Structure 1
Amino acid sequence: MKNSILFASLFLASILLEAQNITPMDTIFANDQKNVSLFFPNPVRQGIVGSDNFVFTYNREKEQYFGLLQAKPGKPSNLLIINSNGSIFTYIISYKEQLEKLNYFIPQSENIGFEQPRFTESSDSTNVANLFTDKTFYYERFCSFLLTRKQHIGNIQKRKNGIVLSLENIVFDKEELYFVIKIENKSSLDYDLNFLDISTQTRKQGKKKSIQRISQHPNFKYNVPTKVGEKEIKRMVYVLPKFSLSNDKMIVLELNEKNGERNIKMKVSNKYINNPN
């Protein structure tokens, strides 16, 4: 996996802040010449930045107590940190050419709350807490968030008879891969979707090499249409358990038309699976 920032639905932080009536902390400045170190009272489990001109790196394989922040020129954004004990820290982050401080030692007293909300009013606490324990709710909100982003993993598409199938993005979050997929109907005839399948396939090597194909069963599907009207665009998200591929394998997206022959099979290199956003 590429050493990039984990995406997460920023609605989570806003709900927590609103529910607990807490204001984010002060501004942390960074640039692209030096690393700004942030040391926390508990190991960092997740770090989220709100803009692509900031990068917060931390050890995903083994939880450690610190992370490194860098920034490119651009507008200020925000940084959300979740520690291993569920405590949450949030800061405004901004680019600054000359840095006066390179190390921040964050005390536990600066946390704004916990990933599992702690409320005193039982009726409201039960309803809000359920938002974070309901996996379907998280899937729906995070998928909706991904569909609002303009980020792309590459120009991956295939077309047939006016139907264009595109893989816009692959995002890694919480041990799962989120496939952002687009179907565009440029024809004058509606497209009735029979199924959209994602599978792994062995690259064919030589005449006697057999092709092994294994379907990947999604944990969740979001916004999948039954029909794509003429001149219409539909975007959806498939959530799959995390996996990686060796060099002799690839991903295949298969789009199948109900009662029609405008079927598309699109092959995707293993490099996009092994290096998601």
Structure 2
Amino acid sequence: MKNFIFITVLIGAALLGNSAQAQVQDSKTNIRGVIEPYQLGISYDKTVNLVFPYPIISVDRGSSDVAVRKAIGIDNILQLKAEDENFKPTNLTAVTGEGALYSFLLHYDPEPRHLNLKVADLEIPIQQLALFEGGLTSEAKLKEASQRIMTKKESIKKLSDKHYDMGLHLKGIYISGDVLYFQIQLDNNSRINYDVELIRSYLTDSKQAKRTARQETSLIPLFIDGNDKRIEGNSSNTVVLAFDKFTIPNKKHLVMEMMEQNGGRNLKLKIKNKDILKAKVI
């Protein structure tokens, strides 16, 4: 009888051990797939600012007791404030331009320790998880490709416009997936700084029939990398413009036009379809 009891105890202990081990394994498996939220206190009479490394694409709050908005005219700063001093802890989710999901657990704190937080420096486990509709390329990938193109040597020799000691030169055209990249160089050979009002890109008719209006189709860049705001005197800037892939219809061409703010030193390039079709793969 004693032997039977002893064996029963051993079997029970083994079963409990296996069960505990299974629970540990399950726990580890679950933890591996969990993104832990960052704990954040917000108050009724103070605004907490979250500064993200990329533009905010999507925001969701778990409760209407929390006021959430983007800073006016700014794409990467989120402002938080409590609508109710007694709100229950809730969550906040943000998705940004590089495809990263950020998770926060919000609670009420009358005196938040930090009012301005640089999200990239917080201990938040970040992964590029978001898949954008229509296959939209994340800003992080556009930035990475643009940085590689920045340093590439000139591959196009003749596409340039030079006037008023200024120069606008197309150095190369590149393709990666469904994105076209244009590497342009902006030269200022004068002593007067050049402030850029805009760099405009559009498709237009190669020839204009008499008594008809010229048809133009604007192209909006997905991403611009480099200093496209000012060219200091006696200096050069390299800028990369990224567009959804396109080709140029028959009897049309692409125009890239740079216009000076409060000035007349305007330059433009005429780019043909054969130039687009020679785009180099990166």
Higher RCO (C-alpha 8 Å, min separation 6): 1
In structure 1, the residue corresponding to 2:144 is in which secondary structure? helix
- Between the aligned partners of 1:166 and 1:178, the Cα distance in structure 2 is 14
Q: Find the aligned partners of 1:184 and 1:154 in 2 and give their Cα distance.
A: 15
> What are the within-5 Å matches in structure 2 for residues 187-202 of structure 1?
187-202=190-205
CA distance in 1, matches of 2:193, 2:178: 36
Within a 5 Å distance, the mapping from 1:38-49 to structure 2 comes to none
Bigger mean CA deviation after superposition, 179-188 or 264-273: 264-273
Paired positions, count: 155
Pair member with larger Rg: 2
1:132 positional shift? 9.7
TM-score by length of 2: 0.50
Q: Which runs of 4+ in 1 moved over 6 A?
A: 131-134
Question: Which residue pairs with 2:256 in the alignment?
Answer: 253
How far did residue 151 of structure 1 move? 4.2
Identify the residue that residue 130 of structure 1 maps to in structure 2.
128
Paired-residue identity, %? 26
Q: Residues 5-24 of structure 1: matches in 2 within 5 Å?
A: none
Distance 1:159 1:251, change over 3 A: same
Return 5+ residue gaps in structure 1 as ranges: 1-123
* TM-fit CA distance, 1:207: 2.7
Which residues in structure 2 correspond to 1:19-58 (within 5 Å)? none
Verify the 8 A CA contact 1:224 1:237 in the aligned structure 2: no
Q: Structure 1-normalised TM-score?
A: 0.51
Alpha-carbon contact 2:221-2:243 (below 8 Å) kept = yes
Computed over aligned residues only, the root mean square deviation of the Cα atoms, in angstroms, reads 2.7
Aligned counterpart for 1:166 among listed residues 155, 169, 173:
169
Q: In the alignment, residue 223 of structure 1 is paired with which amino acid?
A: G
Q: Which moved more, 1:187-196 or 1:261-270?
A: 261-270
Which residue in 2 is equivalent to 1:238?
241
Q: Deviations over 1:24-77 (max 9, x none)?
A: xxxxxxxxxxxxxxxxxxxxxxxxxxxxxxxxxxxxxxxxxxxxxxxxxxxxxx
Following TM superposition, by how much is the alpha carbon of 1:131 offset from its aligned partner in structure 2, in angstroms? 9.1
Task: Summarize the alignment of residues 65-144 of structure 1 with structure 2, pairs less than 5 Å apart.
Answer: 127=126, 129-130=127-128, 135-144=138-147
What one-letter code is carried by the residue in structure 2 that aligns with 1:200?
Answer: L
- Whether the 8 Å contact between 2:179 and 2:245 is mirrored in structure 1 is yes
Q: Distance in 2 between matches of 1:147 and 1:171?
A: 11
In structure 2, what is the Cα distance between the partners aligned to 1:179 and 1:142? 11
Counterparts of 1:151 and 1:158, CA distance in 2: 16
Alignment equivalent of 1:262, drawn from 245, 251, 265: 265
- Report Cα offsets for 1:231-263 as digits up to 9, x if no partner: 110001111011111230101011010011111
Name the SS of the counterpart of 1:146 in structure 2: helix
1:145-177 per-position Cα deviation (integer Å, ceiling 9, x unaligned): 001111413421001101100111111111010
Residue in structure 1 matching 2:223, options 210, 220, 237? 220
- In the other structure, the counterpart of 1:148 is 151
Q: Aligned equivalents of 1:216 and 1:253: distance in 2? A: 10
Structure 2 unaligned residues grouped into runs of 5+: 1-122, 132-136
